[in-house]
């Protein structure tokens, strides 16, 4: 019986020593957990960089579209005035053209008579 008590005391002492060792020891993370954490951080960094690039692209596209809309709107607002000016100038050109046709017809008719009378030939 003494031997069993001595054996139990020895085991208890060893258990106390193991408990103290475990209590003082800092927990260590497994190697795979450290590596996966680094991988996750790298993945998050890549995702953030992709989001920043995407947002910058969208901002540039939106700015370009706003500029196009602004130019188109200005043109549409100014178009009636421009159309009016063009139509006035076309009317002037048509008037000049009609006057030139009349003068040309008049000159041709006079030249017919000059040619028939023999004055020019």
Residue 15, pLDDT > 60, answer yes
Place of tokens 């054996």: 7
| Separation of alpha carbons 115 and 38, rounded Å | 105
Asked if the structure places residue 68 within a domain, the reply is yes
pLDDT band for position 20 (50/70/90)?
A: confident
Asked if the structure places residue 21 within a domain, the reply is no
30-38 contact pairs (CB < 8 A, 24+): none
Asked if the structure places residue 76 within a domain, the reply is yes
Asked if the structure places residue 46 within a domain, the reply is yes
CB 115 within 8 A of CB 121: yes
Whether the pTM exceeds 0.75: the reply is no
Backbone dihedral region of 99: left (phi > 0), alpha (psi from -120 to 50 degrees) or beta?
Answer: alpha
Asked if the structure places residue 55 within a domain, the reply is yes
pLDDT in tens, 39-84: 999 999 999 999 999 999 999 999 999 999 999 999 999 999 999 9
Asked if the structure places residue 70 within a domain, the reply is yes
Percentage of the chain beyond pLDDT 70 is 93
| Separation of alpha carbons 41 and 33, rounded Å | 12
Number of domains in the chain: 1
């Amino acid at each position: 019986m003494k031997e069993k008590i001595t054996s139990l005391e020895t085991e208890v002492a060893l258990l106390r020593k193991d408990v103290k060792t475990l209590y003082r020891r800092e927990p260590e993370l497994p190697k795979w957990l450290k590596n996966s954490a680094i991988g996750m951080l790298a993945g998050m960094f890549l995702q953030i960089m992709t989001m920043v690039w995407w947002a910058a692209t969208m901002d540039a596209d939106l700015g370009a579209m706003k500029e196009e809309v602004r130019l188109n709107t200005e043109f549409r607002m100014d178009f009636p005035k421009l159309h009016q000016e063009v139509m006035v100038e076309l009317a002037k050109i048509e008037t000049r053209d009609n006057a030139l046709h009349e003068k040309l017809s008049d000159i041709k008719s006079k030249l017919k008579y000059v040619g028939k009378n023999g004055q020019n030939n």
